[in-house]
Structure 1
Amino acid sequence: MRILFAGLLLLSATVLSQDVSLKYRKFIEQHVKGQMSINRCDQEIQSRGITKTNSNECKETNTFIRATTNVIKTICGQAGEPYGDMTRSLQPFDIVVCTLKNQHARRPHCQYRGQARTRRIAIKCEQGFPVHFDGDIVHFEN
Structure 2
Amino acid sequence: MKTKQLLLQICNEHVDKRITDYKNEIELIKDSIASNDKSNTEDDDSGNGKLFNDLEKNIEYLNNVQKTKEYLKLIKTNIEFKDVVLGSIVKTDSIHFYISTSIGKIDLEGETYYAISLQSPIGQLLKNKTVNSRFVFNDKTYLITEII
Q: When the two structures are superposed, what TM-score results if normalisation uses the length of structure 1?
A: 0.34
- The structure with the largest helix share of the pair is 2
Q: When the two structures are superposed, what TM-score results if normalisation uses the length of structure 2?
A: 0.33
Higher relative contact order (CA 8 A, sep 6+): 1
Query: Of the two, which has the highest radius of gyration?
Result: 2
